[in-house]
Each structure stands twice: as C-alpha cells, then as structure tokens.
C-alpha cells in the first residue's frame, strides 16, 4: 500500500470519524457521566424526599 493511500484510508484523516479507540473512550465518558447524574438524583431524592413529603402532607391536611 502506498503512503498516500495509507494516509487517505487512515481513520484519523477522514472527516467526521474518530479512531475506534477514541470512540470507545467517548462511550465510557458518557457512561460515567450518566452514572454520576443518576447518583446525584438518588442523593437529592433521599435528602429532600422526606422533607417534601412532610410539607405536602401538611398542606393537604390544611385543605
């Protein structure tokens, strides 16, 4: 294979495509971000959940 052909077929030179190793890294980064977001949501619900429920029950009792 000539050098020019090798450069043209290289994944890093094709626009819009990244090498497979970078695509895999992006997938892992998105998965970690999603896991962190889920952890923050669970922490927020466990922290503010009972206070919100008590407040709503108190308001419902007044009605």
- Phi first, then psi: what are they for 15, rounded to 5°? -65, 140
pLDDT of residue 43: 93
pTM above 0.85, yes or no: no
Cβ 55 vs Cβ 49: under 8 Å: no
pLDDT tens-digit series, residues 2-59:
566 555 555 555 566 666 566 667 888 999 999 999 999 999 988 888 888 888 888 8
pLDDT of residue 52: 84
pLDDT of residue 56: 84
Other CB atoms within 10 Å distance of the CB of residue 25: 12
Residues 6+ apart with CB under 8 A from 26: 18
Q: Output Rg (C-alpha) for the chain, integer angstroms.
A: 25
């Amino acid at each position: 294979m000539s050098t020019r052909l090798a450069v043209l077929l290289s994944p890093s030179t094709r626009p819009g495509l990244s090498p497979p190793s970078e695509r895999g890294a992006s997938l892992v980064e998105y998965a970690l971000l999603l896991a962190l977001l889920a952890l923050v949501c669970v922490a927020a619900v466990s922290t503010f959940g009972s206070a919100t429920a008590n407040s709503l029950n108190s308001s419902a009792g007044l009605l």
